[in-house]
C-alpha cells in the first residue's frame, strides 16, 4: 500500500499544478520535477554583481561580500517554491582582488580580497552559503594585465634600474625596445630603454603569458580560488593576451582550461571576447563565451523586443548561432545577456510600460544556454555613460529601497531622478512588477529543464512578423516555446506549422494569457508561452 501511495505521489509530482488568479492573469507555478530525472547541472541562470555597488553590510557606503551574504535570500533562498526569491543559480562576481581602482580590473594581488570588500573569511562564508544552496560562484579573473602597482611590475622595473637582468619578474611583462614596438599596440616608457605594452591603459601593463614562471603562478592562483570554493572564472579581455593573434590566444586558453580541469573537472569558465559572432566562435573551443551579438541596444534581443526585427529572424539567429558554436565545440553552451557593466543599462532604451523590457527578458531567459542577468536589470534600473562618458554610471548602487547604505561608485554623474522604475522594495509588493516577471521566468525555466538544455528545432511562422518560436526536446520530452512580440492578440493554428501536437499550456509570461483550444493557440500581446 505504501508503495502504491508513493507511486501516486511521484506521478502527481510529475505534473505541473497551476493556479490562476483571474484578476491579474498571473499564473503561479508550483512545480516538482521528478527527482529521478537526471538534469544536466551545467545549465544555470547567472547574476552579475559589481560587489562595491550591490549591498553594504557595515555602513561605510561601499558594497561588500558580507552584503551579498546578507542579501542571499533575495538571490536564492534555497527553497524552490517559496516564491520569495529571484532564483538565480550562479553568480559572477566582478573583480574582488586588491586594486587601486574602483572597478578593480587592475589587480595588485591575485590571492587576496580587496579590503574594501572584506576578507578571505568573508569570501569563504559566501561560497559556503552559495554552495549549500547549489549556487555557483564564478569570479572575474584578469590575466591580460596587472595594475602598474603590482609588486611584480615594481620588481621588474627596479630590476632593470639595477641592471639585474636575470630577475624573473622582468619576464612577466611584455617589454620591448623602441624598435620592437608593433603597430596597433600601445606602449609606455618603462625603465632603461624599455617600453611596456598597455593596450587598455598605462596603469594596466600587459603580462607575458609565454613566461613559464608566470604560468606556474597562474596555476597557483586558480588552485587558490578553487580551494576557496569558486566553481570557475569569467575571463576578462579574453582576446587580448596575444593581441591580434587569435590562434595563440586560443592555445593559451586551452592550456589554462586544461590546468583548471585538472583541479576541478566540472569547472565553468566563460570568456569575454567582445567581437562579432564569427570572431567569437573559435573561442568556444576552450570555453563558453558571452554572445555579444545578442546584447546591447543594437543586439538581436533588443531589436526583436522593440519589434524592429521579426521574431522569426531572432529564432533563425539563435539557431545559426548555436550551430556555429557547436560545430566548434559540441559541448558549447550559449551565453545570452542583454547588458553588462560595460554597456548602458537596458531599461534606458527598453520600456517597461510598453512591455519591451519584459519581452527582452522572455527572449533570452526562455531559451537554451546560460543567460546572465546584470544586477538591477530585474528591477529596470537605469544607468548610461551619457555625455560625461563615465562607465561608473553603468555600475550604480543597487536600488534596494530599504535603507541599504550602499552608495554609487566614484565618478558617477547619473541623475537619480531618471530612476523611474522603482526599487526592490517597491517591486516586491507589486504583482505586475518587472522583478516578479523575472522571478516567474526563472521559475518557468527551472520547472521546464527542456528550455535550457534541449535540442532546438526552429519553426518558421511564415506570414508572421511578431510570432515565432522553437520546439525543444530533452530527455524525450518536447516543449514548444513561442513569443508574441507584437501589440495584438494572435490566434495561431499550430498544425499549419508543425506536426507536433501540444496538449497543455505549461506556463506563460507577459502582458496577458495564452490558451490552447485544440490546435489553436490564442496568445495575448507581448506574451510568451511554453506548450507541452
Residues labelled catalytic:
236, 272
**Is residue 89 a contact residue for Ca ion (CB under 5 A)?**
no
Strands 194-197 and 187-189: antiparallel
- Print the binding letters for residues 499-518 with Ca ion: x by CB under 5 A, - otherwise: --------------------
Least separation in angstroms between residue 177's CB and Ca ion is: 18
The cell numbers describing 297, all together, are 541596444
Pick out residues in 374-433 that bind Ca ion (CB under 5 A).
Answer: none
* Binding map of Ca ion across residues 205-244, x = CB under 5 A, - = no contact: -x---------------------------------xx---
Phi, psi angle pair for 437, to nearest 5°? -65, -50
Least distance to Ca ion from the beta carbon of 213, Å? 17
> What is the closest distance, in whole angstroms, from the C-beta atom of residue 207 to Ca ion in the complex?
7
Task: Quote the longest CA-to-CA distance of the chain.
Answer: 86
Q: How far apart are CB 200 and Ca ion at their closest, in Å?
A: 9
Q: In terms of CB distance, is 119 or 223 closer to Ca ion?
A: 119
Task: Give the DSSP H or E segment for 361.
Answer: helix 356-365
In sequence order, the β-bridge partners of residue 189 are: 195
Q: Closer CB to Ca ion, residue 47 or residue 187?
A: 187
| 73-81, 200-208, 390-398, 490-498 -> range binding Ca ion (CB under 5 A) | 200-208
Choose the binding region for Ca ion from 3-11, 58-66, 377-385, 521-529 (rule: CB under 5 A): 58-66
Q: Which stretch binds Ca ion (CB under 5 A): 177-185, 199-207, 413-421, 513-521?
A: 199-207
Question: For residues 411-438, b (16+ Cβ closer than 10 Å) or e, as one string?
Answer: ebebeeeebebbbbeebbeeeebbbbbb
**One residue of 6, 15, 20, 60 binding Ca ion per CB under 5 A:** 60
Least Cβ distance, residue 237 to Ca ion (angstroms): 8
Q: Looking at beta carbons only, is 252 or 372 nearer to Ca ion?
A: 252
Nearest C-alpha neighbor of 529 from the set 454, 463, 447, 444: 444
SS3 187: strand
Q: Which stretch binds Ca ion (CB under 5 A): 138-146, 161-169, 456-464, 486-494?
A: 138-146
122 near Ca ion (CB under 5 A): no
- The answer to whether the CB of 206 falls within 8 A of the CB of 176 is no
Query: What is residue 63's DSSP assignment?
Result: -
**Residues binding Ca ion: what is the number (CB under 5 A)?**
9
55 near Ca ion, judged by CB under 5 A: no
The cell for 311 is 521574431
Q: What is the CA radius of gyration of the chain?
A: 24
Nearest approach in angstroms of CB 252 to Ca ion is 10
Q: Are 357 and 350 in contact (CB under 8 A)?
A: yes
What is the per-residue DSSP string for 482-526? EEE-SSS-EEEEGGGT-SPPP--EEEEEESS-EEEETTEEEE-TT
144 contributes a contact to Ca ion by CB under 5 A: yes
Please tell me whether residue 58 binds Ca ion under the rule CB under 5 A. Answer: yes
State the DSSP string of 447-460.
H-THHHHPEEEEE-
Sites of contact with Ca ion (CB under 5 A): 56, 58, 60, 62, 64, 144, 206, 240-241
Amino acid at each position: 500500500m505504501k508503495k502504491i501511495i508513493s507511486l501516486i505521489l511521484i506521478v502527481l509530482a510529475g505534473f505541473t499544478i497551476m493556479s490562476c488568479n483571474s484578476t491579474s492573469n498571473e499564473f503561479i507555478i508550483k512545480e516538482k520535477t521528478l527527482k529521478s530525472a537526471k538534469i544536466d547541472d551545467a545549465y544555470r541562470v547567472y547574476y552579475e554583481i559589481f560587489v562595491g555597488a550591490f549591498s553594504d553590510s557595515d555602513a561605510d557606503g561601499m558594497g561588500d561580500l558580507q552584503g551579498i551574504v546578507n542579501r542571499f535570500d533575495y538571490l536564492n533562498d534555497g527553497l524552490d517554491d517559496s516564491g520569495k526569491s529571484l532564483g538565480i543559480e550562479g553568480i559572477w562576481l566582478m573583480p574582488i582582488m586588491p586594486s587601486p581602482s574602483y572597478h578593480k580590473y587592475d589587480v595588485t594581488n591575485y590571492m587576496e580580497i580587496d579590503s574594501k570588500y572584506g576578507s578571505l573569511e568573508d569570501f569563504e562564508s559566501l561560497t559556503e552559503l552559495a554552495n549549500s544552496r547549489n549556487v555557483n560562484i564564478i569570479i572575474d579573473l584578469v590575466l591580460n594585465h596587472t595594475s602598474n602597482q603590482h609588486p611584480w611590475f615594481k620588481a621588474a622595473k627596479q630590476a632593470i634600474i639595477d641592471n639585474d637582468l636575470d630577475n624573473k619578474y622582468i619576464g612577466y611583462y611584455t617589454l620591448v625596445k623602441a624598435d620592437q614596438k608593433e603597430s596597433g599596440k600601445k606602449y609606455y616608457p618603462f625603465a632603461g630603454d624599455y617600453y611596456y605594452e598597455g593596450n587598455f591603459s598605462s596603469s594596466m601593463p600587459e603580462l607575458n603569458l609565454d613566461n613559464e614562471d608566470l604560468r606556474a603562478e597562474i596555476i597557483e592562483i586558480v588552485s587558490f580560488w578553487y580551494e576557496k570554493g569558486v566553481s570557475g572564472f569569467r575571463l576578462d579581455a579574453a582576446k587580448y593576451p596575444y593581441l591580434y593573434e587569435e590562434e595563440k590566444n586560443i592555445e593559451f586558453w586551452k592550456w589554462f582550461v586544461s590546468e583548471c580541469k585538472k583541479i576541478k573537472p566540472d569547472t565553468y569558465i566563460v570568456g569575454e571576447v567582445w567581437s562579432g559572432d564569427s570572431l567569437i566562435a573559435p573561442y568556444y573551443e576552450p570555453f563558453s563565451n558571452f554572445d555579444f551579438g545578442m546584447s546591447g541596444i543594437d543586439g538581436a534581443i533588443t531589436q526583436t523586443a522593440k519589434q524592429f526585427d521579426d521574431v522569426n529572424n531572432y529564432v533563425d539567429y539563435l539557431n545559426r548561432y548555436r550551430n556555429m558554436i557547436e560545430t566548434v565545440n559540441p559541448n558549447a553552451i550559449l551565453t545570452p545577456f542583454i547588458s553588462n557593466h560595460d554597456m548602458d543599462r537596458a531599461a534606458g532604451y527598453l520600456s517597461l510600460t510598453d512591455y519591451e523590457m519584459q519581452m527582452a527578458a522572455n527572449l533570452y531567459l526562455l531559451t537554451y544556454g546560460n543567460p546572465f542577468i546584470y544586477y538591477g536589470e530585474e528591477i529596470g534600473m537605469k544607468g548610461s555613460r551619457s555625455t560625461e562618458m563615465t562607465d561608473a554610471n553603468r555600475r550604480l548602487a543597487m536600488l534596494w529601497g530599504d535603507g541599504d547604505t550602499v552608495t554609487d561608485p566614484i565618478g558617477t554623474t547619473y541623475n537619480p531622478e531618471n530612476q523611474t522604475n522603482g526599487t526592490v522594495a517597491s517591486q516586491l509588493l507589486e504583482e505586475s512588477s518587472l522583478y516578479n516577471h523575472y522571478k516567474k521566468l526563472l521559475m518557468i525555466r527551472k520547472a521546464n529543464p527542456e528550455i535550457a538544455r534541449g535540442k532546438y528545432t526552429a519553426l518558421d511562422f511564415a506570414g508572421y512578423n511578431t510570432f515565432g518560436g522553437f520546439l525543444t526536446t530533452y530527455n524525450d520530452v518536447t516543449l514548444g516555446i513561442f513569443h508574441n512580440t507584437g501589440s495584438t492578440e494572435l490566434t495561431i493554428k499550430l498544425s499549419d506549422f508543425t506536426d507536433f501536437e501540444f496538449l497543455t499550456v505549461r506556463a506563460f509570461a507577459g502582458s496577458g494569457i495564452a490558451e490552447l483550444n485544440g490546435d489553436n493557440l490564442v496568445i495575448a500581446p507581448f506574451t510568451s508561452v511554453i506548450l507541452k
